[in-house]
């Protein structure tokens, strides 16, 4: 359908001024070091650790290889309990590492794994829990830690959405044995493609370094199985520039979220997830949930909005337990995942990014309200 105004997509990457990029490129050309832990790579690692107030961060070439590096390093076998309400990268990483994903349901408020459902899914074969801080909202980290300790399981967080988030006065990345980050173009902090693993101790972080470098520890030593998960110098340089502007990026995102909050007040058919006590958000996504059970409403809303040039996204649909690679794992799966199925059919994420303007937010909300009036 025709619409005159430019499209508004779910996100738009923040980019540093091109003028600021040139000197960094010049330094790469002068150094001749393009990858394999070059000077920008090392600088970015330590700058990220100090900015995020964490230790043991190791850069990777994307968020997926960060998850795989964590799974490999944790030395797992058998089954990994995980959430179906996530991006394909989480579940596929488990399978690609030769492990079996076992889905447990999520909580309606945090969108993260439900601890009781996790405990019910534990078997003799379980070796780890891979949870996701969906939209940067913290999982029930205390309960998951208790379960992991009780059953001697590794606890890994896919924290791809959680850059800069805090929970109970400390970085959300400091919970669990490992937290993995994505620095993809669509993320709060982007290096075009990129990612990182935050480990709970130096020994594991050192091992991540080996795993993401083919398992090589020296010219004549290859003690581990590994792959190429290294970040290149250009991405690391972009990361340095993005980090200089991270406060501005986060405050602009917060402003956009507040505009939405104002615009959506009183809209009864839609609910906005409530803030979680003790959580400092990075406003990486602005999810809304269609209330009521009417099937297909969310999809009609999305297509109506797209016709108006506004492109929200159904993060996360389809649910990972419903896609062909995983749906036959367990015939009772669908019945065990009522909350995840409901969210997956009713959530949409509205556009949010630092350069989104107030009139654009109004346009998004008008398209949403128009769609809701149609149904
Ligand atoms: N774990 C979780 C929980 C994740 O959400 C992700 C990634 C990962 C792990 C894996 O991390 P990486 O290996 O990717 O580092 C996007 C992203 O590609 C993906 O990184 C992200 N999650 C996911 C939630 O969203 P798509 O398929 O929606 O991307 P795409 O290309 O449709 O982009 C969305 C919108 O962003 C476009 O409509 C326009 C805009 N855009 C996108 C790109 C790539 C731009 O304006 N410029 C760009 O360069 O998956």
Q: What is the DSSP secondary-structure string of 341-361?
A: HHHHHHEEEE---TT--HHHH
Please report where in the chains the tokens 């079996």 appear, as a residue. Answer: 100
What pLDDT sits at residue 291?
A: 85
Give the pLDDT band of residue 208 (cuts 50, 70, 90). Answer: very high
Q: Decide if pLDDT at 298 tops 70.
A: yes
Q: Which atom of ligand 1 is nearest to the CA of 93?
A: 9
Q: Exposure of 248 by Cβ count < 10 A (0-12 exposed, 13-18 middle, 19+ buried)?
A: exposed
Measure 369 CA to ligand 1 centroid, in angstroms: 26
**CA separation for the pair 199, 183 (Å, rounded):** 17
Q: Decide if pLDDT at 375 tops 70.
A: no
Q: 135 CB less than 6 Å from ligand 1?
A: no
What pLDDT sits at residue 333?
A: 65
Give the pLDDT band of residue 2 (cuts 50, 70, 90). Answer: low
What pLDDT sits at residue 5?
A: 87
Query: How many percent of the chain have pLDDT more than 70?
Result: 97
Q: 213 CB less than 6 Å from ligand 1?
A: no
What pLDDT sits at residue 335?
A: 72
pTM, whole model, 2 decimals?
A: 0.97
Of 291, 297, 283, 301, give the one whose Cα is nearest residue 267.
291
Q: Decide if pLDDT at 142 tops 70.
A: yes
Structure tokens at 304: 């109506």
What pLDDT sits at residue 229?
A: 98
**CA separation for the pair 344, 338 (Å, rounded):** 10
Q: Decide if pLDDT at 329 tops 70.
A: no
Give the pLDDT band of residue 147 (cuts 50, 70, 90). Answer: very high
Would the CA dihedral through 69, 73, 74, 76 be positive or negative? positive
Q: 314 CB less than 6 Å from ligand 1?
A: no
Q: 61 CB less than 6 Å from ligand 1?
A: no
Q: 64 CB less than 6 Å from ligand 1?
A: yes
Cα 117 to chain centroid distance, Å, stands at 22
Q: Decide if pLDDT at 328 tops 80.
A: no
What pLDDT sits at residue 266?
A: 86
Please report where in the chains the tokens 């309960």 appear, as a residue. Answer: 143
What pLDDT sits at residue 327?
A: 78
Please report where in the chains the tokens 């949409």 appear, as a residue. Answer: 348
Q: Which atom of ligand 1 is nearest to the CA of 316?
A: 24
Just give the CATH number of 18-244.
Answer: 3.40.640.10
Give the pLDDT band of residue 296 (cuts 50, 70, 90). Answer: confident
Phi first, then psi: give them for residue 253, nearest 5 degrees.
Answer: -60, -40
Please report where in the chains the tokens 């303007």 appear, as a residue. Answer: 357
**CA separation for the pair 344, 316 (Å, rounded):** 6
Map out the domains of the chain as residue ranges: 18-244, 246-372
Mean of pLDDT values over 291-316: 90
Structure tokens at 23: 């000197």
Q: 15 CB less than 6 Å from ligand 1?
A: no
Kindly provide the b/e burial profile for residues 54-71, where b requires at least 16 CB atoms within 10 angstroms of the residue's own CB. bebbbbbbbbbbbbbbbb
Just give the CATH number of 246-372.
Answer: 3.90.1150.10
Question: Residues with Cβ < 8 Å from 46, sequence gap 6 or more?
Answer: none
**CA separation for the pair 240, 244 (Å, rounded):** 7
Residue of minimum CA distance from atom 30 in ligand 1: 186
Query: How many percent of the chain have pLDDT more than 90?
Result: 91
Average pLDDT across the chain, whole number: 95
**CA separation for the pair 184, 194 (Å, rounded):** 6
Torsion angle of alpha carbons 337, 290, 288, 184, nearest 10°? 60
Q: 62 CB less than 6 Å from ligand 1?
A: yes
Q: Which atom of ligand 1 is nearest to the CA of 184?
A: 15
| pLDDT, tens digit, 9 for 90 and up, residues 4-62 | 789 999 999 999 999 999 999 999 999 999 999 999 999 999 999 999 999 999 999 99
């Amino acid at each position: 359908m025709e619409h005159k105004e430019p499209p508004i997509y779910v996100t738009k990457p923040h980019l540093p001024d091109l003028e600021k990029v040139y000197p960094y490129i010049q330094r790469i050309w002068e150094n001749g070091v393009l990858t394999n832990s070059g000077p920008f790579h090392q600088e970015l690692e330590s700058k990220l650790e100090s900015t995020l107030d964490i230790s043991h961060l190791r850069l990777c070439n994307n968020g997926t290889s960060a998850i795989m590096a964590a799974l490999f390093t944790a030395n797992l076998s058998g089954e990994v309990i995980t959430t179906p309400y996530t991006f394909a990268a989480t579940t596929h990483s488990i399978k690609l590492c030769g492990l079996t994903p076992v889905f447990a349901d999520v909580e309606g408020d945090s969108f993260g794994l439900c601890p009781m459902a996790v405990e019910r899914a534990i078997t003799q074969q379980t070796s780890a829990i891979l949870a996701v801080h969906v939209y940067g909202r913290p999982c029930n980290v205390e309960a998951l830690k208790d379960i992991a300790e009780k059953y001697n399981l590794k606890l890994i967080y896919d924290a791809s959405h959680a850059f800069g988030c805090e929970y109970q006065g400390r970085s959300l990345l400091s919970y669990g044995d490992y937290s993995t980050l994505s620095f993809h173009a669509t993320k709060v902090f982007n290096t075009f493609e990129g990612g990182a693993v935050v480990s709970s101790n130096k020994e594991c972080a050192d091992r991540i370094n080996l795993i993401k470098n083919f398992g090589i520890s020296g010219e004549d030593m290859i003690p581990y199985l590994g792959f190429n998960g290294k970040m290149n110098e250009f991405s690391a340089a972009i990361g340095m520039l993005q980090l200089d502007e991270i406060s501005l990026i986060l405050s602009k995102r917060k402003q956009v979220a507040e505009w939405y909050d104002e615009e959506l007040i009183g809209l009864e058919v839609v609910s906005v997830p409530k803030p979680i006590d003790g959580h400092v958000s990075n406003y990486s996504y602005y999810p809304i949930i269609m209330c009521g059970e009417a099937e297909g409403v969310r999809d009609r809303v999305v297509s109506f909005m797209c016709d108006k040039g506004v492109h929200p996204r159904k993060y996360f649909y389809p649910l990972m337990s419903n896609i062909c690679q995983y749906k036959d794992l367990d015939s009772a799966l669908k019945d065990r995942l009522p909350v995840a199925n409901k969210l997956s059919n009713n959530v949409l994420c509205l556009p949010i990014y630092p350069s989104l303007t107030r009139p654009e937010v109004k346009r998004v909300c008008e398209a949403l309200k128009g769609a809701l009036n149609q149904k």
